[in-house]
Structure 1
Amino acid sequence: MRLLLAAALLLSVLTPAGASGVLIVTEELPPYNYQENGDAKGMATEVVQAVLEETGVDAKIEFYPWARSYRLAQTRKNTLIYSMARIPEREDLFEWVGVITPVATSFFKLTANKEIKVNSLEDARKYSIGVSLENVNYLYLKGKGFTNLELVGEDLLNMRKLAHGRIDLVPFDEASFYYQVRRDGMDAAMFEPAYRLEDLSRFLYMAFSKSSDPDLIERFRQGLQSVKDDGTYDRILMRYSLMN
């Protein structure tokens, strides 16, 4: 009996957020969500943290590659994921809490490559496009019938491939793209937006796994609305706009 109790206690310690507690998952997507000296940072992260404070929920934010976070948010009860675009392909896969940040997405190309011209989504079919596994850009373009997609596991790999001319285009959030290439030591002037993807230029959300407790989901929805009503949300967004 003592061995069983000890094993149960050890399991509760090793399991993230416990077997039934709230787990929050995300990826490295600065300036929205990223880690700095082991601490969760970023504009979207601050909104999530404000909601946690408002609801009184104690939960740790875990950073994983997007594909792993995405799987956890589809398979584990009481799992919250952010920052995620809300597109038709995802609509029924999650319980949506609400908007946490605005977002703008464009195809990026090398500034020096004057041969690449994209004036419509159809024009992009002529070029090789770098996308990441389970990323919204991949799901969106795949849903539009694109077959010229080169798939990798991490966003930064696509930026490096673009820098070396191994692919022609990378669809990505505009603020995050420039943030990440600078952090990787690349000259941001090497790249320029070629075409704005309006369908993906709206908002990023937080959402729960479908199996999550309905009361918990509603608690977070109300918490998010409260931080918007009291001005906390606008103050977070304003601070980051001034920083950029």
Structure 2
Amino acid sequence: MKLLLWVAALLMCLALPVRGQDIRIVTEEFPPYNYSDNGLAEGLSSEVVQAVLAETGLTAEFLFLPWARAYLTAQNSKNTVIFSIGRIPEREDLFEWLGVIAPYNTSLYKLANRTDLTVNSLSDAKDYSIGVSVEDVIYQYLKSQNFSNLDIVGEDILNIRKLALGRLDVIAFDEAAFQYYLDLEDIDPALFERIYRLEDISGGLYMAINKDSDPDLIQALKRGLEAIKHNGTYEQILNRHRLMN
């Protein structure tokens, strides 16, 4: 009898939905979308993910890591969510894609006084040194387009500093993050000029999860994201951060 009760209890536990403490959420310092402030996850994307968790009744800790480590962790650990992540063909089969959580536009920037530097097409940019960040979507995209002149750094802000000093011809940068870092570093925006938008990787940043995760968890998170877009929560967050599609 005791054995039967134990088996019944075990089966009930197995039938329960994934608990909040079973979920890992990894991200990086990528303001204004996601960043840590006194141990709290802040930014547009962080708020969207938090709203999804609240909608589904789940809780989870946000772990801020260097992007390359977060990216690898999400690929290798079940029930691990990653954001904000760009969706490109090279990544398509690596994750289960939960949906768009923020608008996103990426462009090439140069020093405004570089009148000798012109980029009218993506192929034109191959003539110049381009600053990118390790393993981010911009780096992976340009690499897939056979760019060999990429100058790779571990922190986004380093590329802006290097461009300001004339140590790079061009940098590829998210437009909202670019303005954020200029304000943070008190750098005059007039020093720079946006010269070409990378349309192939512009449009939206995603929330994704390890593809071998609990199917019930995957569906719960997808439904949660759909729900906050339907009930107006998502639009309220975008309006608060003044970022709209």
TM-score, length-normalised on structure 2? Answer: 0.88
Report whether the alignment pairs 1:171 with 2:169.
no
Question: Where does residue 218 of structure 2 map in the other structure?
Answer: 217
Question: Where does residue 195 of structure 1 map in the other structure?
Answer: 196
Letter in 2 for 1:215: D
1 CA distance for matches of 2:188 and 2:62? 31
Which SS does the other structure have where 2:70 is aligned?
helix
Which SS does the other structure have where 1:222 is aligned?
helix
1 CA distance for matches of 2:181 and 2:33? 11
Distance apart, 1:193 and its partner CA = 0.7
Alpha-carbon distance change, 53 to 187 in structure 1, aligned in 2, over 3 angstroms: same
> After alignment, is 83-92 or 36-45 more displaced?
36-45
Distance apart, 1:38 and its partner CA = 2.3
Letter in 2 for 1:193: R
Letter in 1 for 2:219: E
Residues 18-46 of structure 1, C-alpha deviation per residue, up to 9 Å, x if partnerless?
A: 9x811111111111111222211111111
Question: Where does residue 93 of structure 2 map in the other structure?
Answer: 92
Alpha-carbon distance change, 106 to 219 in structure 1, aligned in 2, over 3 angstroms: same
> After alignment, is 149-158 or 178-187 more displaced?
178-187
Which SS does the other structure have where 2:147 is aligned?
coil
Which SS does the other structure have where 2:172 is aligned?
strand
Question: Where does residue 101 of structure 1 map in the other structure?
Answer: 102
Which SS does the other structure have where 1:25 is aligned?
strand
> After alignment, is 32-41 or 130-139 more displaced?
32-41
Question: Where does residue 11 of structure 1 map in the other structure?
Answer: none
Letter in 2 for 1:200: I
Which SS does the other structure have where 2:131 is aligned?
strand
Written as runs of structure 1 = structure 2, the 5 A alignment for 1:1-244 is 21-241=22-242
Letter in 1 for 2:187: M
Asked which structure has the greater CA Rg, the reply is 2
Residues 110-167 of structure 1, C-alpha deviation per residue, up to 9 Å, x if partnerless?
A: 1122211111001100000011111101100000011011111111111111111111
Instruction: Note the residue ranges of structure 1 that are not aligned, 5 or more in a row.
Output: 1-17
Instruction: Note the residue ranges of structure 2 that are not aligned, 5 or more in a row.
Output: 1-18
Given that 2:103 and 2:243 are in contact with CA atoms closer than 8 Å, whether structure 1 keeps it comes out as: no
2 CA distance for matches of 1:186 and 1:94? 37
1 CA distance for matches of 2:189 and 2:208? 32
2 CA distance for matches of 1:132 and 1:69? 14
Tell me how many residue pairs correspond in the alignment. 225
Q: What RMSD in Å do the two structures reach over aligned CA positions?
A: 1.6
Which SS does the other structure have where 1:89 is aligned?
helix
Q: Which runs of 4+ in 1 moved over 6 A?
A: none
Letter in 2 for 1:131: V
Distance apart, 1:242 and its partner CA = 7.4
1 CA distance for matches of 2:69 and 2:187? 27
1 CA distance for matches of 2:242 and 2:83? 20
> After alignment, is 87-96 or 144-153 more displaced?
144-153
2 CA distance for matches of 1:24 and 1:184? 29
2 CA distance for matches of 1:32 and 1:94? 20
Distance apart, 1:58 and its partner CA = 1.1
Residues 185-209 of structure 1, C-alpha deviation per residue, up to 9 Å, x if partnerless?
A: 3222222211011111111000001
> After alignment, is 214-223 or 30-39 more displaced?
30-39
Letter in 1 for 2:143: K
How many percent of aligned residue pairs carry the same amino acid? 57
Question: Where does residue 6 of structure 2 map in the other structure?
Answer: none
